Structure 1
Amino acid sequence: MTTPQCAPDNVYSLLPPLEQKPVKPPRYISIFRPSVKHEAKQNKAQWKTMGPAKVAVPSPKNFLQKHSKEPKLQERKIEQDSKKLPALSVPRRTDHPVMGIQSKKNFINTNAVAAITRLPKKPQPLYVDSRQGDKYLLETSGLVPKYLKKKDYGVTPKYLTERKEEMKKAQKEYEASVLEHLKKKAMKVLSDEERKRLLEGLKKNWEEVYREFQCLPVKIDSIPKRLHKEKLETQMKQLEHDIQTIEKHKVIYIANE
């Protein structure tokens, strides 16, 4: 049987709903709980004291002695081998030395001969620097010219020769670069055909400027007109000067830029 659905504006909807309290599940209890309690009761007596109950008291004889902690050498073991000679004892008062035994070498004669034939000792070179007679070694004073006895005395060092060769090489490279630069800037001679062509071009330019100059008005009443006229006059003078110089000189040099 279906329950009738109430409209949102029903009277029963005004009543507050009843609170339903959630049902708590039963508390969890471990199955090992009694065994754990039993073990805790058994080991409880060991927790009453810190460390063992009875400690062995050190005896008063084992006190710290002086130099007891210093490293000690091992005792030397004396082993008398059959090859070694027995230890010599001190001779007694009643013992007499063995007489008549002589060594093969006569040390007295050999020492005398060596003293006679030995070269005399050379005196050590010294220098005195005061009137009281203060002496010092001459060798360590710096007054002895030891550098004269060197093998490379008077020989030019290698670094100087290498430096001279580098300087010569640099000088040659500089001279070569200068010559190449001068060759690039050398004067070029104009040929007859180029000279004629240049003259024709200058004359043509002069004719164009002159034609433009003739087209100017007779009355020049403004500054721009006057400046234009002066400009044409300067161009004509420059062209006339260039034409005269080229016609006057048959050989013309041009610098290469």
Structure 2
Amino acid sequence: MAETIHPRESVYNWIPEEEEKIEKPKRYVSKFRPAVVLESKVTKDARRMMGPAKLELPSPHKYLKKHSKDPKLSEKPQPSKDARSTCACTEKKPAVPARTDPPPMGIQTKRDFTKTTIFVPVKPKPTYVDTNKGHKELLENSGLVPKYLLKKDYGEAPLYLRQRNEAERRAQEENDRLIREEREQAAMHHLSDEERHAVLQDMKKNWDALHREYQGLSLIIDTLSKKAHKIRLEEAMKQLEQDISLFERCKTIYIPNN
């Protein structure tokens, strides 16, 4: 059977524990509540007994007609026939002056024609007709008018072309200078007889030094280093012999400057 585990007995377990009372926070009440309640009462009391306000229904005979909302011009009162007849009778025009009457002098009019500006009529722009139906265009846009010929810079190259040509010219000069320098560096120098003789003597001295070192090698060459040293000396002596033979055979020798 499984043993039951009892809690540890203590005298303090017999002391009744006090219950903790949880105090709830007060309910939130908006400060605008009285104003909202008063406003709702005012709007409800107006129609509490009688219901919504009764509006006058439109009459079926007063329907919206066509063009009834179009703007209308104000009508000017037209004079009646009697009024026109009375005006024509009361207002009498002056008589036509006779041919022998002198002309009136000193009459001032609203406009003084002597001081008015004389306007020069505008000349029509030259046009050309390109169809048999009279279609015409401005002659200036046709390309037949030599307007570019009258410019001050006519016949001169634009600025951007001159700048490009100048840049190409500078690039070509720089390229020619580099090619000339390369040719001068790669040019051959002619050795004089004194220089050729001095070089020949130096090569013979080098050959003698190598030959003396070659003669000093041991008779038994049993290691790789000795074999490699012997081969290197033989190749150097052979190359010097070829160069000495070339310098002795050729009297004119050119060498590069570098």
Q: TM-score, normalised by structure 1?
A: 0.47
